[in-house]
Amino acid sequence: MDFDRSPFLVLWELTRACGLKCRHCRAVAVKERDREELEVSEAARFLDDLSGMGRPLIVLTGGDPVQRPDLLDIVDLCRERGFATAMTPSGTPSVTEHVIEQLKSRGLTRLAISLDAPDRMTHDYFRGVEGSFDWSMSIISWARKHHLPFQINTAISTLNVDLFDEMATLVEHLGAVLWSVFFLVPVGRASEDMQITPIQAERVMIGMAELASSGKFDVKSTAAPQFRRVLLQRRAKDSSVAFRAGAGGLNQLDHKLKLGRLRSYGSVNDGRGLIFVSHRGEIMPSGFLPLVAGNVREDSVTDIYRNHPLFKTLRDPDLLQGKCGICRYKRLCGGSRARAYGRYGDYMAEDPLCVFKDRIPAQ
């Protein structure tokens, strides 16, 4: 896929209304809906425009999408236009078995359910509401009953980084098709003291790579594109392909990925294969990089994604700064642009979560 022309993934924030009080919430969610949310007619025009870039995967997110009384109408719009559509409901009583059954019948292809710990106490503390763990487990049981595929989303922080192995066991036991591990970005409510260290992040990603090689379920990272570097290093070791600068090892391995002999997790990053649309229609590179490039109410999302200077800059690895700028993996990884912005105020700065340091070539 040519990420200069089309995104792979579109995250669409339907609302910021939510019954949870998550300690890391990007959206700083509130109880009441915003009167400025996109209406169904505006959503239809946005989707028609988005169709000009093919059929990227759409994820309906929030807040809690179930807070929208017209949610099923929006799911219908996506299905009618041929979009594969997933949704991230909050673990609250708003999601009933009937809701799950309706979503499945309307063509929703996947649920993404947040579980941040293998135990009630830690998860509920993280989500800010007692009972969230049990509600999430109920949603999972209903998804299984109605044969709606689901993935587990886990936000890694200082609260749960030591529970990685237990979480992996739970994900396997529940029968999730994918485990998406989110590495916190300092935006919204996520404070710096919740951020894990680069060494801890590397250990988590090594554990994720081991899980991926086991084939028990798919594993992906969010806001940590360096997981691709960890995967490639592991694959290189397994396939005896050396990553020597100038020796062509990286090109050999990437060629194998393109041929399908090794598993590729893509190099989707903020503004590169990824686009975010807020509940008010604002177009951003991601929800964690809150820089507005336009609004679907007035602008073409296709034109913004392909031609806006912000998006074009984010897709140019030669403009990366710091150690990301000299890294041999910059075209496959590129570091989290959102984390760089959150830490340094510069979205092309180096990713402070990465431990890898390439050798500076001799002048």
CATH number at residue 158: 3.20.20.70
**Beta strands 9-13; 274-277: pairing state:** parallel
Measured between its terminal Cα atoms, the distance across the chain in Å is 36
Mean pLDDT of the chain: 89
**Six-digit token string for 164:** 């990685």
Q: CB–CB of 314/343 below 8 Å?
A: no
Residue 253 has pLDDT above 50, yes or no: no
pLDDT at res. 110: 97
54 domain-assigned: yes
**In the sheet where 85-87 sits, what is the strand order?**
218-222, 178-183, 150-156, 110-114, 85-87, 57-61, 9-13, 274-277, 282-284, 294-295
Tell me the mean pLDDT in the region 189-212.
Answer: 89
Q: CB–CB of 17/61 below 8 Å?
A: no
Contacts 24+ apart (CB under 8 A), 196-204: 196/156, 196/157, 196/158, 196/161, 198/352, 198/353, 198/354, 198/355, 199/355, 200/161, 201/156, 201/353, 201/354, 201/355, 202/230, 202/355, 204/156, 204/161, 204/164
349 domain-assigned: no
2 domain-assigned: no
Task: Tell me which residue range forms the domain holding 45.
Answer: 9-316
183 domain-assigned: yes
Residue percentage of the chain with pLDDT more than 90: 78
Q: CB–CB of 334/269 below 8 Å?
A: yes
13 domain-assigned: yes
- Closest C-alpha to 301, from 117, 45, 86, 97: 45
Tell me the mean pLDDT in the region 314-341.
Answer: 96
**Beta strands 150-156; 178-183: pairing state:** parallel
Tell me the mean pLDDT in the region 178-203.
Answer: 86
Length of the chain: 363
341 domain-assigned: no
356 domain-assigned: no
User: Rounded to 5 degrees, what are φ and ψ at 119?
Assistant: -130, 155
Residue 242 has pLDDT above 50, yes or no: no
Its pTM stands at 0.90
- Closest C-alpha to 37, from 319, 280, 208: 280
What CA–CA distance (Å, rounded) separates 23 from 116?
A: 12
Query: Is residue 108 classed exposed, middle or buried when 0-12, 13-18 and 19+ CB atoms within 10 A define those classes?
Result: buried
**Six-digit token string for 50:** 């988005």
3-state secondary structure at position 359? coil
Name the strand (E) or helix (H) holding 78.
helix 71-80
Number of domains in the chain: 1
What is the DSSP code string of 167-187?
A: HHHHHHHHT-SEEEEEE--SS
Residue percentage of the chain with pLDDT more than 70: 88
Enumerate residues 6+ apart whose C-beta is below 8 A from 286: 11, 270, 271, 274, 275, 276, 337, 338
pLDDT at res. 263: 34
Q: In Å, what is the CA distance from 197 to each residue of 32, 153, 156, 202? A: 35, 20, 11, 9
Tell me the mean pLDDT in the region 296-311.
Answer: 98
**Six-digit token string for 46:** 């946005």
Residue 248 has pLDDT above 90, yes or no: no
- pLDDT confidence of 247, banded at 50, 70, 90? very low
- Closest C-alpha to 86, from 141, 156, 145, 14: 14
328 domain-assigned: no
Residue 109 has pLDDT above 70, yes or no: yes
Higher local confidence (pLDDT), 248 or 14: 14
pLDDT at res. 194: 84
Under DSSP, the state recorded for 196 is P
Q: Which of 52-61, 231-240, 300-309, 319-328 has the lowest mean pLDDT?
A: 231-240
- pLDDT confidence of 29, banded at 50, 70, 90? low
Q: Which of 53-62, 85-94, 191-200, 274-283 has the lowest mean pLDDT?
A: 191-200
